[in-house]
Structure 1
Amino acid sequence: MSSTLTQSVTHEFSERGALAKHVHHYHNRQTQTDMAVAVSEAIAKKHNLILEAGTGVGKTFAYLIPALLSGKQVVISTGSKNLQEQLFLKDLPALLTMLDIHVPVALLKGRNNYLCQLRLEKQMQMANKFTEFYIDDLLKINQWAHLSKDGDIGNLTSVAEHSEVIPTVVSTKESCTGKKCDHYDVCFTRKARIKAMDAKVVVVNHHLFFADRLLKDSGFAELLPDPDVVIFDEAHLVPDICISYFGSHISSREIDKRLNAVIKLHKEVIRDSIQLEQLAQRGLIALSEWHNLMFEHQVSDWRKVLAHKTLASTSWSLHQALVDLANNMQYHLGRDDQLDIAFEQLQALAETLRHYFECQDLQAAYSVELGPRFIMLRMSPINVAKQCQQLFVKDTRWIFTSATLQVNRSLAHFAKELGLADSKQLILDSPFDYPNQAVFCVPRHLGKVGQSQHSAKQLVDVCVQAINAAQGRTFILFTSHHMLQQVAVMLQGKVKYPLLVQGQASKQSLLNKFRQLGNAVLLGTSSFWEGVDVRGKLLSCVIIDKLPFVSPDDALYKARAANAERQGLDPFATISLPQAVISLKQGVGRLIRDEKDRGVLILCDNRIVNRAYGQAFINSLPPMQRTRDLEHALQFLKQIP
């Protein structure tokens, strides 16, 4: 028997409901109603739900209406700030008006999205030390601060988002003095938290949710310790985010920052102890030697560092330098609050570094990321199911939804990753007419995929034909930056349409240009595989260079693979294949975004038809018309107006 909530929700999606009254040309989509019913039942009958809703189902309204009508305290977590703001600024206000109800709602972001009045005040006091351009931005921010009601930096339009002033005036955990602050009563971060505490529906993003739950990073977990319901939209991102937050990371930039902070403390506060500065300088020298050696050897797996005598010795020398400095700082504890905080931070950093260098946890992967002028050390758990079971407490209903969760028509892989095997599971296919709207082509006569010049040349040959047939209007999605750069160079002069290449500008700027030009070709890697919505005639063709398998040299994959083998499992079938299927589905999802869209997907990787595992990919993709004949796909493109 359906619950009262389910009956109310079903009515609102019917021809007599609120949507029919307020949405122009509304027609009931059965899959959308089915999703709304499933969400309602999960809330009313207190069970967890994992639900894949294909593109076009209308999942946003399908979970928002049950959330608003339930009377429960609901946290809605999104994968991106863009969707977070869309829900709060557009979808929720529209639904509250349609449903004619008053439900208090709140948008909560991480504290570094809010202006800190105390930090701004300190920056203004030091204004005479800054450059003219810096002062200009600082004055604009100060003027905006007096006008803003919420202090949300995202609403600051008078200063460029990459301004060097912004990081110095936003709220941080380290700089917050709490009730001691002169601005406590008007603090923007505090006001946002109070509003969230009074709300029935709170919109956050995944990173804020997990940072607060696991790190207690900005006090949100204390405000809403156990909401009745948590709904994760874009839930396919949750497993990787859990791995990040249940793991740990250390940046060479953070070590450098801590050491320089001690030097500054000596110069400004603890002036009678030159040893503090000397030990901090010794630490900076050790950091520089370690940094240079790591870049010289280009190591990505920490266990290889341990096997290298010089690298290992230099690493432990860095750790010892931090320990020596922390030991000396102990003699000065109690003299200054800033020094006490700096000591705790340095001691914690040294301890984390020790755990990392010892590399003793067989259930974790120890990886090294070499960025532009920095090193990131990551320790990632290879299985977060047990931690997730403790996180996803029984008193709360947990609902996970995305357009890309199933592998080979099953949600078992996602459920297993998060320790949610006993959840209700439902797959709702897209209502779009894929056999008539889209063609999926894997061209014949493709050579072996790879990073070679020959692979790039055969990809470019296909791209040129498709781009001309589509009159631009094409995304080319890559699994590696190396191949992207090769193809970008080779395409120059071979097509007459504008080429937009990842790295030339920000992601949003490139997408805006793509929409404005109307005949452009965009080349991008992983960040363009998801969260990109280009509807209608602007995008007619998506080309993918190859199946997105994780690199076998990836440290986390190697650790997971070794663990799978210890359990007698096949790492490829249980780890690599499911991840690749979900990634491919994300890329494919860029093509058809509307019931009137038409387009062609070209995959330049014949493994999907030549290898047995290819069927798992095909079974997981929308039912597009399939062909190996590139000419057939080109003709379809030419017919799109």
Structure 2
Amino acid sequence: MNDKYAVVDIETTGSSPKNGDRIIQIGIARIENGEVVSTYSSFVNPEKKIPPFIQELTGISNDHVQNAPLFAEIAEDIYRELEGTVFVAHNVNFDFPFLQGELKRLQLPLLKNKKADTVEFARLMFPTALSYKLSEITLELGIELSHAHRADADAYATAELFLACCRKLETLSQVTIKQLHKRCFRLKSHLAPLFFEALKKADRLVTTTNPTEEVVTSAEFPSYPETIEEKVTLLREVYSTVEQRPSQFDYMDTVKQALDTRSEIALEAETGIGKTIGYLVPSLAHTQSTGKKIIISTYTNTLMDQLVEGELAKLQSVYLHSFTVAKLKSFTHYLDRGLLAMRLDSPDESYDESFSLMQVLVWLTETKTGDLSELNTTGAGQLTLDKLRKQRRTPGIQGDFYEQIVEKAKQASIIVTNHAMLVHHPESLQFIQSDVDALIVDEAHHFLTAVQSASEKAISFTDWKYLFSQFGFHEATQVGFKLAQILGSNKDLLRIAQRLELVNHLFDELISQLSNTVGKTKSSYGSSKVTVPLSGTQNLFVDFSKEVNEVVQKFEELLYRYPVDNVIVREEVNYWIRELRTVAYDWEEFMTHLESQASWLDADKRSIPSSFIFRQRQLDWKEEIERSLTPYRGKSSIIWTSGTLTVPNHPWFILDQLHLPKDTPLRKFYAQESFYSGARVFVVNDVPDVTQVDQTTFIESIADVIIQTVQASQGRTFVLFTSQDMLRKTVELIEDSGLLEDYLFIAQGMNAGSKMRMLRTFQRFQKAILFGTTTFWEGVDVPGEALSTIIMVRLPFTNPDDPYFKQKAARLTAEGENPFSKLSLPEAIIRFRQGFGRLIRNSEEKGAFIILDRRIQTKSYGREFLVAIPNVPKEELSTQSMVETLESWYNS
């Protein structure tokens, strides 16, 4: 490490020196020859009061800085510490300009140091990290950060992070570093010398293949435990403490019987049964005795990861090599090495592309799967990753990630997939279907959701405009421009250009008419979002859809008539034409089924037309369900299981929608009453009735309850919403209040990252609040004290103005049924049960389930929600009484 580095962190009274904000503490750690050689820190008198929220965040009070030197008095010290160094900071574009602002204010010489950003460096060297916030990335890497948001501690931790990045760089192979060095000059940080030094040291060669892991087998998984004593003994091998749960053992026996008889059965297992281990034990014993495979399908990739990394990993750690597990997703999740090679050989078109390719190169040295979802990329970087995804299977290509997954699945005992794969890509499972003896559909109540999304169309205005803009002729990155450079003055290309203009014109006309309709549509009070049904508008789409398809056809004819020899250009053009072909098909299908399916436009009146999203969804899915189950029904066991498969008074509500045969046995398994001894339900009775006040008043009220509840429970709280708009406004109001400054806010739709990343962050910090909508209502395991409180803002009814719901309700009405009792209420109760199910995950836990929707008291149907959850203490009380009860209860 030839350069000297000064790692700097500052704490300030605010974010802008131009607005009068000042430095209150500075910390500097100097690095020479790969080691921290000195540190410097000082409080700084800002000559103004420190805002309360800054005091809470940093722990720096007005007393700390009262007798501290002014910035002018330590300026010489800072110059001396920074002299001859590269200026390093975690988000250098905050610290460096802020220091410059202070120097400029005092009319002192400005800094001329080169800059390096540890956020950028860490994102490169640790591309799968959950988060790049200093407190979180240091925790993940095992770097001590004794006091976050104190400049001296932050500067030292940032220096250690910088050195960790340097060490990681030097572990990479020569070939990888060469590829990184080629692109490092496009980085925003002064990191190029580090890549050059690492390249000089590198003497290893990159491994370009990721060979299939050899499957090693040893002792077999035990035969199925028939007696209670045998079951307890087996489970104690996996868990240090095992409670005897008669219902769990009954559930296990039922699964075993279904496997033995190749039956189809539906099983509801309440939280506390131990459903997952309940079906895994008989499944593993069955595969050992028969040599056949079992497919387990769950709702999301997150739940797949939880299953494989949770219960299955525990079982594998005890019964080493006795069974193998394969996760099977669509091939589009995986990297195509051939596409990557072509991309690496072509000039990068932007900083984002260079950066994403550099992340991929580092990730390739450590990934075992090639699953691109492992990467933590920005939104702009996702476009680069999309260009690297497999578009088709390529058997026989050495080192192909997806083919390695396929080979592993051929040898695996248990194959874990998701409902979408089962429904979208049933053909992808054909290579193992003859060896499958059972299909277990976990989170079965969501199978219908997966079927619905299989053919659901959603076309956004911004996505379409961006896609279509790629076909222009004016910029070097556009398809038309690239083809014109190769084909020259070409009449066929000219005709395509004219058609592109026509498509643009037709789309603008379509949008103009819909914008008028949206502008006249009334939105609910306090909201700018509207939903516009599109039935009766088919004539608007006909010409546009036809011309889009014509453009695709003309491009394909052009490429057939005039082959493009340049491999890079050809692949780039083919990528965009594939994308256009897909959306052209969606537009055609959208137009064709506009009247027969639920079709609508989502819009925000504040941003017309950029907020427009065209949506369409089928109403009946019987054929799709039967097609996905045909390979298994009558040949293998099919076990439908869920924690919430039924609704009181409507036991077949979900099974009817899944079109299960009427003779399918349905069994329910209940947890012991003692399992929920630590749960309490509170109905807050002084929150305004959501149906009687405007949204702003309701949000102000619930924000107050949330603040008081979080303060009483010390965080560890889920707040569940039914509306993303209400979630956002509530979070913003709480943030503006400054009353929860020392808590970490994790808000779905506002924070970047996947659901799994958000959950892991939530579990890592005690003082954390997670604000979530629909997808956080179910299928989330947060064991232990990480979650102690759930606040349900509204009963989870579907919006009655939702076009899909309205069309389904209209169909029920035409059949003489009551849409509320047959559809709306059962759906809401299912979600309600799922929300409660997040609270208690073992009998040692204590948790409060707080309901802020007065309808549970005032409406006749309110009791149906409360009887649908386990029999735990339920109280109606005021906010103040509830908070006092929580404080004494949690502290008891």
Task: Tell me the TM-score normalized by structure 1.
Answer: 0.85
Residues 161 and 34 of structure 1, relative CA distance in 2, 3 Å threshold: farther
Could you tell me which residue of structure 2 aligns to residue 368 of structure 1? Answer: 601
Residues 132 and 416 of structure 1, relative CA distance in 2, 3 Å threshold: closer
For 2:297 and 2:621, locate their aligned partners in 1 and report how far apart those are by CA, in whole Å.
19
Q: Which has the higher contact order (CA 8 A, sep 6+)?
A: 1
* 1:240-259 paired onto structure 2 within 5 Å: 240-250=449-459, 253=463, 257=467
For 2:468 and 2:229, locate their aligned partners in 1 and report how far apart those are by CA, in whole Å.
56
Task: Give 1:248 deviation, angstroms.
Answer: 4.4
Could you tell me which residue of structure 1 aligns to residue 619 of structure 2? Answer: 382
Could you tell me which residue of structure 2 aligns to residue 52 of structure 1? Answer: 268
Could you tell me which residue of structure 2 aligns to residue 536 of structure 1? Answer: 784
1:137-184: CA deviation from partner (whole Å, max 9, x where unpaired): 424523543664432335558x779734751453232xx4836xxx82
* 1:15-94 paired onto structure 2 within 5 Å: 17-71=233-287, 72-94=292-314
* 1:581-620 paired onto structure 2 within 5 Å: 581-620=829-868
Is the partner of 1:228 in helix, strand or coil? strand
Query: CA contact under 8 A between 2:238 and 2:315: conserved in structure 1?
Result: no
Residues 467 and 171 of structure 1, relative CA distance in 2, 3 Å threshold: closer
Residues 504 and 432 of structure 1, relative CA distance in 2, 3 Å threshold: farther
Task: Say if 2:601 is the partner of 1:353.
Answer: no
Is the partner of 2:599 in helix, strand or coil? strand
Query: CA contact under 8 A between 2:259 and 2:637: conserved in structure 1?
Result: yes
Could you tell me which residue of structure 1 aligns to residue 496 of structure 2? Answer: 276
Residues 249 and 228 of structure 1, relative CA distance in 2, 3 Å threshold: farther
Task: Give 1:240 deviation, angstroms.
Answer: 1.2
* 1:242-321 paired onto structure 2 within 5 Å: 242-250=451-459, 253=463, 257=467, 260=470, 263=480, 266-267=483-484, 272=490, 273=492, 274-291=494-511, 293-294=513-514, 297-298=517-518, 303-304=533-534, 306=536, 314-321=540-547
Could you tell me which residue of structure 2 aligns to residue 437 of structure 1? Answer: 678
**Unpaired segments ≥5 residues, structure 2:** 1-220, 472-478, 522-529, 565-569
Task: Give 1:632 deviation, angstroms.
Answer: 5.5
Identity between Structure 1 and Structure 2 (%): 24
For 1:517 and 1:351, locate their aligned partners in 2 and report how far apart those are by CA, in whole Å.
46
Query: CA contact under 8 A between 1:50 and 1:423: conserved in structure 2?
Result: yes
1:415-461: CA deviation from partner (whole Å, max 9, x where unpaired): 00100133221222233636631221223344321453332333234
Task: Say if 2:658 is the partner of 1:418.
Answer: yes
Query: CA contact under 8 A between 2:744 and 2:767: conserved in structure 1?
Result: no
Task: Give 1:591 deviation, angstroms.
Answer: 2.1
Query: CA contact under 8 A between 2:777 and 2:835: conserved in structure 1?
Result: yes
Q: Please point out which of 720, 743, 750 is paired with 1:498.
A: 743
For 2:676 and 2:364, locate their aligned partners in 1 and report how far apart those are by CA, in whole Å.
54
Q: Which segment drifts farther, 232-241 or 490-499? A: 490-499
Task: Give 1:280 deviation, angstroms.
Answer: 2.5
Task: Give 1:528 deviation, angstroms.
Answer: 2.8
Query: CA contact under 8 A between 1:545 and 1:603: conserved in structure 2?
Result: yes
**Unpaired segments ≥5 residues, structure 1:** none
Is the partner of 2:446 in helix, strand or coil? helix
Query: CA contact under 8 A between 1:295 and 1:370: conserved in structure 2?
Result: no
Q: Which segment drifts farther, 323-332 or 472-481? A: 323-332
The one-letter amino acid paired with 1:17 is T
Query: CA contact under 8 A between 1:10 and 1:33: conserved in structure 2?
Result: no
Could you tell me which residue of structure 1 aligns to residue 6 of structure 2? Answer: none
Task: Say if 2:371 is the partner of 1:152.
Answer: yes
Q: Which segment drifts farther, 563-572 or 329-338? A: 329-338
Residues 270 and 531 of structure 1, relative CA distance in 2, 3 Å threshold: farther
Residues 406 and 306 of structure 1, relative CA distance in 2, 3 Å threshold: same
Q: What is the number of residues matched between the two proteins?
A: 621
Query: CA contact under 8 A between 1:251 and 1:375: conserved in structure 2?
Result: yes
The one-letter amino acid paired with 1:562 is A
Query: CA contact under 8 A between 2:225 and 2:234: conserved in structure 1?
Result: no
Task: Give 1:264 deviation, angstroms.
Answer: 6.1
Task: Give 1:329 deviation, angstroms.
Answer: 5.1
1:589-629: CA deviation from partner (whole Å, max 9, x where unpaired): 22222211112222122222322222321221121201112
The one-letter amino acid paired with 1:400 is W
For 2:321 and 2:727, locate their aligned partners in 1 and report how far apart those are by CA, in whole Å.
50
Query: CA contact under 8 A between 2:353 and 2:384: conserved in structure 1?
Result: no
1:302-327: CA deviation from partner (whole Å, max 9, x where unpaired): 754635xxxx6553342232244356
Residues 37 and 333 of structure 1, relative CA distance in 2, 3 Å threshold: same
Query: CA contact under 8 A between 2:222 and 2:285: conserved in structure 1?
Result: no
Residues 55 and 286 of structure 1, relative CA distance in 2, 3 Å threshold: same
Task: Tell me the TM-score normalized by structure 2.
Answer: 0.63
Query: CA contact under 8 A between 1:287 and 1:318: conserved in structure 2?
Result: yes
**Cα RMSD after superposing both structures:** 3.6
Task: Give 1:125 deviation, angstroms.
Answer: 0.8
Is the partner of 2:681 in helix, strand or coil? strand
1:279-319: CA deviation from partner (whole Å, max 9, x where unpaired): 13432343345346545643876754635xxxx65533422
Task: Give 1:490 deviation, angstroms.
Answer: 4.0
